[in-house]
Homo-oligomer: A and B are copies of this chain.
Amino acid sequence: MEKINLQDKLTRVRDYWDPHIVGELNGQYVKLVKFKGPFTWHHHENEDELFFVVRGRFRMDYQDDESNEKAVWIETGEMVIVPRMAEHRPFAEEECHVLLFEPATTLNTGSVENEFTRRNLSRI
């Protein structure tokens, strides 16, 4: 029953787009990640993803049901839930600290494998 302090944990996250696990419950992970610049377009076949902004802001680019490209800015204290199969790409102009909540099976780049892909995440 140890408490988790997000600011303390974030000091241990150095690289951008490198998620770290800070908690686990009901087969889901709580992760912390630092965004900067554009991520890669991708989707998840079977996982919905929650993004909560702890500090800063980022833009979530996504495709709607008709494959039109849209975008929504997520500010500090705001969250967005990206449903499975939705094509999306986070983008941050400035460093942005984000808490993720998603199934333990979730790969950060979903169905894409590229230089952004991270496996065997650290627990901090």
Contacts and interface: CB of A to CB of B under 8 A. Distances in A.
A20 to B, nearest CB: 15
B1 A79 contact: no
Interface in A68-124: 70, 72-75, 77-83, 86, 101-103
Nearest to A25: B48
Contacts of A80: 1-4
A50 B25 contact: yes
Residues of A contacting B: mostly: strand
Interface residues of A, number: 37
Given A26-B28, A30-B81, 13 more contacts: A1-B64, A1-B72, A2-B72, A3-B79, A3-B80, A4-B79, A7-B77, A23-B50, A24-B81, A25-B48, A25-B83, A54-B77, A101-B101
